[in-house]
Structure 1
Amino acid sequence: MSRILRAEDLNDFISPGQACIKPVEIVKTNLSGKTEIRVDGTSYYEVGIDGSEKQLEAASITLNDCLACSGCITSAESVLVSLQSHNEVNKVLKENQMKSQGDRQLVVISISPQSRASIAAAFNLSIPSTHARLVTFLTEILNFDYVFDISIAREICLHESAQEFLQRYGARKMGGEAQALPVLASSCPGWICYAEKTHGEVLPYMSRVRSPQQIMGMLLKSCLFANRGIERKQIYHVSVMPCFDKKLEASRGDFEVDGTRDVDCVITTTELVAMIKEANVDLREVTEAQKSKKWDYLPYTHLGSSSGGYLAHIMTLAAQQLFDINDLEVASQKHITIKTIRNNDMKEYTLLSSTGDVLLRMATCYGFRNIQNLVRKLKKDSPGRHRTRECKEYDYVEVMACPGGCINGGGQVKPVLTMEERIYTPKEWVDYVEGIYQGLPTCTLDLKSVQEVYGWMRGQEKELLYTGYRAVEHNLGNPLGEKWISGCITSAESVLVSLQSHNEVNK
């Protein structure tokens, strides 16, 4: 068992702690003597025995600290600091309406497919109807200017992820420059933060393609509206996501240009539902918006999992281009075998030739119990350690921090009474939302629409669609440091919570 992650810590569904465990670096001095603390209003002073005073610095809690609290290692955490809430979005919107027409920002919102499915389940609506009603609510009641479906960004992400895999796999087989296999999906920020903080050795395996959320932000600010002459700072972009860690992802310095983020604020599915309720609106009674240039929606889902379908898309394209297998069907197991490893959150997909030879082997890996096993296989051998099977038996792994994947994100709507007044258990509810999500027609990648979007980038695809990851060095002068590190899954950036919430959008 890893020294950093212990069996008793492996609980993907945790409750918030009652006390902050952030360690404070202890600065040791040679001075000794009695001191006392004097309170003056909101300021605190350390008073020495000689009467000298020193003002004490106020403690601060950042977004990183909150996500690290209570040994949290998953994207299923259920609470952030109160300022990280949808009230910030309302504040931004309200202040924007008070400005003159020429000074207003363009306030846009993009919605993830998983969030849309969760809201559809909560209000007992179809996904297309849910999106159309959300458009009416967001544009006519909350005064957003545009509403977008993140699915178009996911198409770009799937296309680039497949091309990246083919490049790495081909280079490895040709004996050229060393390429790290398996390729590990990198769209889950909880997984990325955990790897950066505690297992830097696995970072070379990570896909370098940006997540759909960050691709969407880039497309809107650096391409679509930029081509219309609108500056990045004039756009305020809100993203609706199924998990809290997407807030952290949006705050990474890699996703800023000239001091403006690609995604200004991330709110969870539950926060959007809270906004609906606070407006005293029943989404079932809202009129469906008519299709217009102010909103878009792709009335289908992609093949594969509700976490984005990365494995299904990459295996399908790889089968075509590498082995001339053009009738692969992952769902019906045509040309492939699917093996459940331990539980449904760890499955192995093997592509076979007509003679039964193994051509490709991929896997889905959800939840930190399975992630820890995956990481153990990837780590290099160390002295005194029993040699384990190399994880290079896999060519690609779709990794997500939450058990069940993104459809079960910590920011999704929890079980509710349906119109039939049925009470769901958490697992039944996730299965119900999954069924709604998978109920949409499926399709392969629409290369025509993808190529149109690529035209917006004007040859800057590598700069705009890819990112990098780095191991975080630990330098905590505190004996509690190991305990804090063992739970911390955050990235190196220190971002204040108050700047990453729907209150900021409203402002």
Structure 2
Amino acid sequence: MSAILSADDLNDFISPGVACIKPIETLPVQQADNSNAYEVTTEEKAAAAEPPPPASISLTDCLACSGCVTSAEAVLVSLQSHTEVLTTLDTYPSLRASWLAHNGTNGVANGYASSGVINGVNGHGTEGKLFVASVSPQARASLAAVFNVSEVEAGNMISQLLSGPSGLKSGGLQGSGFTWVIDTNVMREACLVAAADEVTNALSPAASKVSPKPGSEGAIDTTPKAPILTSACPGWICYAEKTHPYILPHLSRLKSPQALTGTLIKSVLSERYGIPPSQIWHLAIMPCFDKKLEASRGELTSAAWLSSHDSSQEKIRDTDCVITAREILHLAAARGINFASLPRSPLSSSDRIPFPDPKLDAFLFPSSRRKNQNAVAGSSGGYLYHILQTYQARNPGSSISVVRGRNADVVEYSVVQGSETIIKAARFYGFRNIQNLVRRLKPAKASRLPGGKTGISRRPGAASAAAGEGVKDYAYVEVMACPGGCTNGGGQVKVQEVDQVRIYEGIQEPNDDAPAPKPGPKEQKEWLSRVDEAYFSATDSEDENMDGERHPTNEYPADEDIVDCISRSRMKHLMAHWSDITGVQEQRLLYTSYIKVESDVGKKKQSDMERVAGLAVTAGGGW
């Protein structure tokens, strides 16, 4: 269990949970007793009987149970923590760099034969693993604010910890470290382009004529209906699946950057190196605990994209472990590494092992970093704003109108041209605003009164109905569970922890004479503004081209459409290339599905007597 998860973190509780079903399901099956059924049991025999083992609850179990509806921070996890990272590094040696460097394109036959690899590792009987990490810009911004460095420098410090000579590989039983550390911003570019295409396809006249089959509303091969709701926030997705299944037809089918990065890493490396996905271990460093929940979804495993997968094979998760910005500090401390003293410069390029595909290597590890979106796009990836910019680029002369709602976390956007509104969209952050959103999207029930109109429901006040119609006019809604967006995730360093971290890291002297007062909401808000400043202040490298193209090439058309410095043509070529080298359809790589989660937890179960009595009454009989 993560040591930093506690009841104090539950600041967005939705409703009281009822009894968890998992302990009941995990009780041991009673074995047949061959002893005399009429034998009296003595106290000695009763005391000698072995008690049942304690129930083990995992994130996957919690996904299958609708008894609790809180944020994923309430889930007590045992497998996704900094301790699990260290345990895995100490258990499995890294695949040797020499083998990767010289056999990255030869496949399993040449690679294993020429280097003498046994179970993927030279000279080791234990199966080796290929360690890969991905880091979100929000987590980097949190650490940047703590250590008073830039977001880029914070990213370099994380890379030095995970892959550098003075990082994790300098200790441990195996001396294992991470071969690649990937910035999720590059995969987010693919998500943004795909999100804009998804909205365009959903709003097309052809899509409006197709109705999904009953029971397939959240399937991967269906087109979401407007308003399309963002799917990148797993806390919001969990809430929708368990409590409001009528939302499923509206959810975007697009994978999050974390999930898409995991799919790319495991599918490409498995194909290029000829190793099973189980030998590739993906760590994600994210801003919130909800991402641990996302990594545990059964839909985000090798079964979704591995062509040779059958039901009898083990499903390998695309993301094996998720830790947060706070946990990355615990990770360094557990190995006795002073995070503040780590080099702020990037890793030496001479020691970097190329990703086993030139195009994807140039994509994942660009020669210059692209800055995060500007403040108007928000701190949650900029899905909504990129879609608005895409429609603005298609309609020269149009402009984006912004209207604030009842609070700062509810904002309405429109792309307008003269008096014409081309598209309307909105942003809803925080569970209070989300609950208001889903209430407006709830389908109207037919009146049961004689002569009542079909499709009309009794709702208090006409204003509520009008508000519901307004929400349904949106083409896209960016939904995030955390107020203020992803930089305010539950796994970020909180304001009350900053001084403690700085004192521990040796960059601040303790002040025992005048202890600082306990920070309140005002101080937390001010701290969040500093994290946002670090997030938005990251600048482009000087050698980046003005059009945003980081890898000049003549392979793509000169008149490609560029939105927010992202080349849509280049991105589509890369996704098609990914599909070609893995032999998997793009739909299975980029998209996922959602399901209605049902449970009998908290419901009164009908006894056999009640069931028989009900059948008798139905048949016209009685007692």
TM-score by length of 2: 0.64
2:371 matched to 1:300?
yes
Match of 1:445 in 2: 566
Instruction: Identify the residue that residue 491 of structure 2 maps to in structure 1.
Output: 411
* Structure 1 SS opposite 2:427: strand
What residue identity is the alignment partner of 1:461? Answer: E
Name the counterpart of 1:502. none
Select which of 225, 231, 237 maps to 1:192.
Answer: 237
* In 2: Cα distance, 1:425 partner to 1:340 partner: 24
Counterparts of 1:340 and 1:175, CA distance in 2:
30
Contact in 2 for aligned 1:407/1:434 (Cα 8 Å):
yes
Q: Relative to structure 2, which stretch is displaced further, 397-406 or 253-262?
A: 253-262
CA distance in 1, matches of 2:236, 2:83: 28
Which residue identity is paired with 1:91? T
- How far the C-alpha of 1:15 sits from its partner, in A, is 8.2
Unmatched 5+ stretches in structure 2: 1-8, 28-39, 96-120, 169-176, 212-223, 303-308, 310-314, 354-363, 448-456, 510-515, 541-563, 606-623
* Inter-partner Cα distance in structure 2 for 1:315 and 1:12: 34
Indicate if the aligned counterparts of 2:16 and 2:68 stay in contact, CA closer than 8 A: no
One-letter identity of the residue aligned with 1:462? Q
Moved more, 368-377 or 126-135: 126-135
Matched, 1:457 2:513: no
Equivalent pairs counted in the alignment come to: 440
Change (3 A) 1:180 1:449: closer
Equivalent residue, structure 1, for 2:596: 471
Distance 1:132-1:209 versus aligned 2 partners, 3 A rule: same
Q: Distance in 2 between matches of 1:155 and 1:275?
A: 29
Cα distance between partner residues in 2 of 1:177 and 1:70: 34
Kept after mapping to 1: 8 A contact 2:202/2:208: no
Return the match for 1:145 from 168, 175, 179: 179
CA contact (8 A) 2:79 2:321 kept: no
Deviations 1:65-110 (A, max 9, x none): 66889955335x2662455421011010011239953642111111
Query: Which residue is 2:90 aligned to?
Result: 94
Are 1:161 and 2:192 matched, yes or no? no
Contact kept? 1:148, 1:296, Cα under 8 Å: yes
> Equivalents in 2 of 1:87, 1:130: separation in Å?
22
TM-aligned CA deviation for residue 175 of structure 1 = 5.5
Closer, same or farther in 2 for the Cα pair 1:434/1:104, shift >3 Å? same
Q: Does 2:136 correspond to 1:112?
A: yes
Structure 1 residues 264 and 39: CA distance shift in structure 2, 3 A: farther
What SS does structure 2 have at the residue aligned with 1:318? helix
> How far apart, in 2, do the equivalents of 1:157 and 1:98 lie?
30
Alignment-mate amino acid for residue 371 of structure 2: Y
**1:227 & 1:98 partners in 2: Cα distance?**
17
Which of 337, 341, 346 does residue 410 from structure 2 map onto? 346
Closer/same/farther in 2, CA of residues 98 and 157 from structure 1, 3 Å limit: closer
- Does structure 2 retain, via aligned residues, the 8 Å contact 1:16–1:79? no
Determine if the alignment matches structure 1 residue 315 to structure 2 residue 388: yes
Residues 5-84 of structure 1 aligned to structure 2 (within 5 Å):
13-14=11-12, 21-22=19-20, 38-40=46-48, 43-44=50-51, 56=52, 58-63=54-59, 72-75=69-72, 77=73, 80-81=76-77, 84=80
Aligned 1:319-334 pairs, distance under 5 A? 319-321=392-394, 324-325=395-396
Counterpart amino acid of residue 382 in structure 2 = G
* Max Rg structure: 2
Give secondary structure in 2 for the equivalent of 1:361.
strand
Separation of aligned partners in 2, 1:78 and 1:427: 23
Distance 1:106 1:341 in 2: 48
Which residue is equivalent to 1:211? 256
Q: Which amino acid aligns with 1:460?
A: Q
Q: CA deviation at 1:284?
A: 3.3
Are 1:12 and 1:403, in contact at CA under 8 Å, matched by a contact in 2?
no
**Distance between the aligned counterparts of 2:46 and 2:408, measured in 1?**
58
CA offset digits 1:192-216 (Å, max 9, x no partner): 1111111100100111011111100
Where relative contact order (Cα < 8 A, 6+ residues apart) is larger, the structure is 1
Q: Which structure shows the higher strand fraction?
A: 1
Letter aligned with residue 377 of structure 1 = R
Residues 15, 69 of structure 2: 8 Å contact kept: no
Q: What 5-or-longer segments of structure 1 have no aligned partner?
A: 1-10, 28-33, 45-55, 329-334, 481-507
- What is the one-letter code of the residue matched to 2:122? Q
2:440 maps to 377
Q: Residue deviations 1:130-178, cap 9 Å, x none? A: 1122212111322222111111211111111110100111237x85335
Output one character per residue of 1:391-440: Cα deviation in whole Å (capped at 9) or x when no partner.
21211000011111111111111121377899782111111111110112
| Deviation of 1:305 (Å) | 1.4
Q: Secondary structure at the match of 2:415?
A: strand
- 1:442-469: CA deviation from partner (whole Å, max 9, x where unpaired): 7532443663354122162111111111
Displacement of 1:12: 7.3
Q: Distance in 2 between matches of 1:175 and 1:468?
A: 20
Instruction: List per-residue Cα deviations over 1:31-62 (Å, max 9, x = no partner).
Output: xxx99994548x32xxxxxxxxxxx5643323
The separation in 1 between residues aligned to 2:62 and 2:253, in whole angstroms, is 26
Structure 1 residue 268 and structure 2 residue 341: aligned? no
Mean CA deviation greater in 115-124 or 290-299 = 290-299
Q: 1:290 aligns with which of 334, 347, 360?
A: 347
CA distance in 2, matches of 1:397, 1:17: 24
Relative to structure 1, the CA distance from residue 110 to residue 284 in structure 2 (aligned partners, 3 Å threshold; closer, same or farther) is same
Q: 1:134 maps to which residue?
A: 158
Q: SS state of the match for residue 253, structure 1?
A: coil
Instruction: Report the CA distance shift for 1:454/1:133 in structure 2 as closer, same or farther (over 3 A).
Output: farther
Q: Please say if residues 424 and 476 of structure 2, whose CA atoms lie closer than 8 Å, have aligned partners that are also in contact.
A: yes
Taking the aligned partners of 2:14 and 2:338, their CA distance within structure 1 comes to 30
In the alignment, residue 416 of structure 2 is paired with which amino acid? L
